Structure 1
Amino acid sequence: MQQRKELLSLNRGGKSRIPLYYIAIVLFLAKMLLLRHFLFHSIDYSRIVADIGAILVLLSAVELVTPAKLRAAVYGIVNVIYSFALFSSAVYFEHFGTVPTYTALYELHQVTKIQSSVESTIQVGHYLFFADVVVGIIIAAIMLLIRSRRSRDGFAGVPRTAPMYRVVITVVFILGFAISARVIQVGMPIENELVEAEQEGFLNYQVAAAIKAAKDNGVAAEGDPVELAKEASDLQATYPYQDSPGGVPAYFGSAKGKNLIVIQMEAFQNFPIHLKLGGQEITPVLNKLADESYYFPHIYQQIGQGNTSDAEFMSNTSIYPTAKMAMSTGYGDRDIPSLPKLLEKNGYVASTFHVNDVTFWDRNKLYAALGFDHYFDKPNFKNDHFNSFGASDEELYRVGVEKLQEVSGGTKPFYGQFVTVSSHFPFEVPKDRMRMELPAELEGTQLGNYLLGINYTDYAIGTLIDRLKAAGQWDNTVLVLYGDHFGLQPNDNDPAFIKKTLGIKYDPQVSRFNIPLIIHTPGETKGNVVERVGGQLDIMPTVANLLGISFADERFTAFGRDLLNIDRNVLGTRYYLPTGSFYNDDILFVPGKGFEDGTAINIRTLEPVTDLTPYRKDYDYIMKLMDVSDRYVKSLPKR
């Protein structure tokens, strides 16, 4: 009889509460399908079970643990948080092309510092995640005005002590948990993060990421840097980078004792080099430098979640970013072997320059970990209001040359790192700083604005060279320039439009991730185009060789190679491409669930490659190398 009364109460007094639970399930699922549309550009309905399982776990837990009188309010709060998480993930994916995990929360405080970039990425459709929230607020306001007995009772519903009701919800919770557990179990071995996220669903993917992180941290805690350095060396010895290894490397010490300036150019892709637009050179300064320097046209970005700061990390360490979080945030408390520390042994003073606040991307931690002697950030520059970051590249170099002279005392060699921002997304160059005219078809386009930003960045580098010459330092300085990552957003730039307006073939992966690398040594005028493929990990080994620093003598562990002394190369990349992606001298390979269902494209012809058989060994090797790199950096001691 008691049970019948409870069932009747479920059908009468609890009418409003049980529909609220069901309504939440429907709304949460609808939003998840919307997210799938933004992330995967289609909805595979065979994957909906994975989403349903996770949603049932979440909402059943809310239903079971929340007091009846608070349930409506708690559902509202959970819905707002859920909506914001999905909205943020859709915007994140639009900008970075990667499904975010919970670790992206570590960088949430950076959003205000790149507000203009974030706002430019948001699509109108992204706000659909909040449509029901707005409607709910309106309804709640009306109900509060009415303040009827019915509305108050409706929110209360059936006491959560009703045994039958709790049993039903508990069973649903267990069912959802079982579904999610199985989905995660099947999905976790997939190496392609995008494929894994699509199969597991967004919520389950977060759980899988946490499980993997816990396992990785457990392994890392047991690692020894010395043993892992040897493991890395032994592994690299199995890959034939050189046909005839041994002897003194070519160009070793050719710039020994010279000053070193490294310019990390914001969002700088390689295609503008030597490109003309309406008879105008887009990069006249860099064109001249490329013709008088070592120019590497086949270099590719390898950054992870830290983006620009990860590029700084790699160029100073030759260690892979883990792609789980910004290296500056995750490893800024470590004692990291680095270029500044090697140069310090040779009497150098190391300084780094950035016009933003040093806390941006936790650079205050990164620079200490890398061993820079000085950093110069926002307070050191006059704000000429170039863009949202403040000072222009011209101001960056004006202060930089002065400070490098000052900290070196005119007697010590210096290492100066410059991180530019004038070509930062959304590529807004003030009209009085524009130095190039756009054809009508490029006016108001992202491509046109990007080229204006690149053109200004190039001009500013010319002012740096002039200042170095005026200071008497040009003929005593090695100048290294490279791009940190791509600039053109794939969804806003049709390759056909780029080909039509610029007259070049453009691939949304190969061309987008291709960045320039130019190394100018004093007195060099002839130039040398190095066709070897390479990445940001290879910058430090190449520069170290020119400066006469032997990694073998220093017992330094590098995961990149000296590009002037190898006959072939292979390098891994992840985050903007899934784990398992790699470049070699022939192709860019991108895995599916694994190697067998992967795809490849020739990096020189930009044509598809169908026979993947010759590249299996490269894939297996690079997966092992990135794994050793991850374990190595995680094993480094804290400062």
Structure 2
Amino acid sequence: MNININRNKLKPVFRFFTGNVEVFLFVLSIYIKSFLFNQIIGIHYGNILIAAALGPALLLLGLFISMKRKWRLICLLSVNALISIIMLSDAIYYRYYNSVLSVPVLMQLGVVDPALKSSILKLFTPRDLLLAADVIIAAPVLLLLLKLKRIRLHSVRHRLLTSAAVLVLGCFFTLSGMYNIDRLMGFKSLSTVFDHSFFVNNIGVLNYHCFDIWYFASNRLAGNGEDIAPDEAESIKAVFIENENTAEGRNLHGIAKGKNLIVIQVEAMQSIVINLKIDGREVTPNLNRLIKNSFYFPNYYTQAGQGNTADAEFVTNNSFYAAKQGAIYFRYPGNKFTSLPALLKEKGYSTTAMHAYKASYWNRATVYPFMGFDSFMSQKDYILDECIGGWGLTDESFLRQSLDKIKDLQQPFYSFLVTLSSHYPYDSFGKNEYGNEFNAGSHNGTFLGRYLKAMHYADQTLGQFLDGLKDNGLMDSSVIAIYGDHEGIKKGDMEGIKGVLGLSPNDELAYLEMKKVPLIIHIPGGEQKGVKPQTGGQVDLYPTLANLLGAQPEYYLGRDLLNSERSLAIFRDGSVTDGSTVYFSGTGQCFDLSSGEPAGTDGFKEYIEEAGKQLEISDKIIENNLLKDFTAG
């Protein structure tokens, strides 16, 4: 009798569970995947995530729980599948760009790096299947549930109340997560934290996407940037007044006045290949030789953001930082820019940009004129006599044809060249098509071997170009700057390479080393030379070159590397290093670079605060087009 009574008591519980099994499975699945995603891409999760991860699952559930069971099953399964696709896309994108997707990036899908498109299989790992495993398993189970005896539904009123309660609970968990990270960062994270990984770390990838959509939509409604009061704009302008009075008396000021300027941005070149030998063979013999008669900066960092190569161009030519999200070339193409080409144009220079790819790619054809370039020579201006791996003209042909064009330019000129062949994933250099003159020894046939061959090929073509400048008398009348645009070895490619290259076993410290790109500045005559060990970044090249040419920019955030005693490199995500210590904004940790051990943040607060201030000023200037107001009249 008692057994029957107990069974009767359990029947409602059993009916409730079988009637809502998909609800429990959905919440559990989304919750687990939020943690699994962080594990797969190597971002550790904070304590806040434990509660915050419930938010998106409950919010989504609240939208569908009031539906009839058939439609509820279909919707929950479809949404779960969509979430798996989003997480898989985020994981692949993260391995290439070290960041997760955002709305502005999705709006630029037309210019997503072809290397990313062609390398998806290489960036995919078997562990990624775990993000979709629940969908594969759940689909037949949930379809089977549709064939079970029909469960009596509660009244519409009851279901709507349940839906509202679940939505409120979801909002509570999501907003509490947002509040807690905002409190963690001194109630500034929603406006001044620049690292997407910080949000993924603390509140999960789904909450990050909710925030990203909200942030993008609110900015669009507000007209992109936040409203700037006149007094705030004036205080920002005052930051630059000091710059105007510090040019005269600077070391080497005007030493190359009236000389031509040739700047070459080299695709994916890292400092680690400079002076590197494999079994006694130099990877970059021509650049090594040039360095002996030039200034060389071994601790110079890429400061590109989600715009990658385009960001490197922008930061270098404008001395402002990349956009928080997306690429400035697409988000703010019509802004007023007080760039290096515009400054030199005022000094009587002819200004030309050269890149042998589609003019529309990265919106260059639109942006370059606003930056002050008189002309842009793109793919249509070159004879496509030798192409490489889907990337168009080879660097050898590009630089050879560019030399012929440069010879005919009105002097003095500023020529900005962007190379392309040495592009990730370097497959053309693994088939002995290019760079086969270089024997990578035991690394032949590996990713590292292909990268080294690509860098040797880039060095070879640069050597030929430099020889051509000498033969045409341009070496003696031109300042030449050569630098790398961004890292060539991605975070996901470092496993097995760290030991070979002598990198730190700590992934973040090893990746920081990958962000070092070479900067070489050659001044005619070769008398001004030497290795400059101070830490700097691409934002510093504009004021450095302007000083050598005797020009004085008015609005810039970088430092003249040949005069400044400070060592500092600020990254788009808010991380910062002075060459001795590094602060990673994603984790809020500092590390001593000599020992690799964690260090307290107290002694580094000045630099952390300066990084935030510089990025905030840059963002406000770009988002509100303040340079147009500053230069009016």
Residue of 159, 177, 180 corresponding to 1:183: 177
Report the residue type matching 2:202 in the other structure: Q
- Does the 8 Å contact 2:199/2:205 carry over to 1? no
Report the residue type matching 1:162 in the other structure: V
- Does the 8 Å contact 1:184/1:205 carry over to 2? no
Distance 1:94 1:221 in 2: 32
Answer yes or no: is 1:476 the counterpart of 2:477.
Answer: yes
Report the residue type matching 1:563 in the other structure: L
Bigger mean CA deviation after superposition, 295-304 or 356-365: 356-365
Q: Structure 2-normalised TM-score? A: 0.85
Distance 2:266 2:35 in 1: 38
3-state SS of paired residue (1:271): helix
Q: CA deviation at 1:310?
A: 0.4
**Percent identical across equivalent pairs?**
28
Report the residue type matching 1:629 in the other structure: S
Deviation by residue 1:344-363 (Cα, 9 ceiling, x = unmatched): 21222222222332333333
Report the residue type matching 1:477 in the other structure: S
Answer yes or no: is 1:586 the counterpart of 2:580.
Answer: yes
- Does the 8 Å contact 2:61/2:166 carry over to 1? no
Q: Which residue of 2 aligns with 1:200?
A: 203
Report the residue type matching 2:494 in the other structure: N
Query: Structure 1's 609 and 361: CA in aligned 2 closer, same or farther, altered over 3 A?
Result: same
Equivalent positions of 1:154-553 (< 5 A) are 162-189=156-183, 190=185, 191=193, 193-211=196-214, 220-223=225-228, 228=233, 231=236, 233-234=238-239, 247-381=248-382, 382=384, 384-406=386-408, 408=409, 411-428=410-427, 429=429, 430-494=431-495, 498-499=498-499, 501=500, 507-525=509-527, 527-551=529-553
- Does the 8 Å contact 1:47/1:199 carry over to 2? yes
Query: Structure 1's 183 and 89: CA in aligned 2 closer, same or farther, altered over 3 A?
Result: same
Report the residue type matching 1:194 in the other structure: S
Deviation by residue 1:355-407 (Cα, 9 ceiling, x = unmatched): 3323333333332332322223333341623223122111221222233344x
Q: CA deviation at 1:299?
A: 0.7
- Does the 8 Å contact 1:232/1:629 carry over to 2? no
Query: Structure 1's 77 and 585: CA in aligned 2 closer, same or farther, altered over 3 A?
Result: closer
Residue of 127, 130, 134 corresponding to 2:129: 127
Distance 1:372 1:118 in 2: 35
Deviation by residue 1:164-194 (Cα, 9 ceiling, x = unmatched): 2332232122111111111111123534643
Task: For structure 1, list consecutive stretches of 5 or more residues without a partner in the other structure.
Answer: 1-7, 144-149
- Does the 8 Å contact 2:260/2:412 carry over to 1? yes
Query: Structure 1's 390 and 127: CA in aligned 2 closer, same or farther, altered over 3 A?
Result: farther
Q: Which residue of 2 aligns with 1:3?
A: none
Equivalent positions of 1:534-613 (< 5 A) are 534-551=536-553, 556-575=554-573, 579=574, 581-591=575-585, 594=588, 598-602=589-593, 605=594, 607-608=596-597, 610=599, 612-613=601-602
Distance 1:310 1:117 in 2: 21
- Does the 8 Å contact 1:534/1:569 carry over to 2? yes
Query: Structure 1's 443 and 110: CA in aligned 2 closer, same or farther, altered over 3 A?
Result: same
Task: For structure 2, list consecutive stretches of 5 or more residues without a partner in the other structure.
Answer: 1-10, 186-192, 629-633
- Does the 8 Å contact 2:329/2:363 carry over to 1? yes
Query: Structure 1's 526 and 373: CA in aligned 2 closer, same or farther, altered over 3 A?
Result: closer
Distance 2:64 2:365 in 1: 40
Query: Structure 1's 426 and 333: CA in aligned 2 closer, same or farther, altered over 3 A?
Result: same
Q: CA deviation at 1:614?
A: 3.7
Q: Which residue of 2 aligns with 1:631?
A: 620
Query: Structure 1's 509 and 43: CA in aligned 2 closer, same or farther, altered over 3 A?
Result: closer
Q: CA deviation at 1:250?
A: 1.7
3-state SS of paired residue (1:468): helix
3-state SS of paired residue (2:263): strand
Q: CA deviation at 1:273?
A: 1.1
Q: Which residue of 1 aligns with 2:609?
A: 620
Distance 2:73 2:360 in 1: 40
- Does the 8 Å contact 1:225/1:636 carry over to 2? no
Q: Which residue of 1 aligns with 2:84?
A: 83
Count of matched residue pairs: 599
Query: Structure 1's 417 and 117: CA in aligned 2 closer, same or farther, altered over 3 A?
Result: farther
Q: CA deviation at 1:477?
A: 1.8
Q: CA deviation at 1:128?
A: 3.3
Q: Which residue of 2 aligns with 1:63?
A: 65
Distance 1:44 1:627 in 2: 26
Distance 1:45 1:538 in 2: 38
Q: Structure 1-normalised TM-score? A: 0.84
Report the residue type matching 1:561 in the other structure: R
Report the residue type matching 2:166 in the other structure: V
3-state SS of paired residue (1:433): coil
Deviation by residue 1:93-138 (Cα, 9 ceiling, x = unmatched): 2222224333331233334723223332121222333344455777
3-state SS of paired residue (2:273): coil
Distance 1:483 1:160 in 2: 64
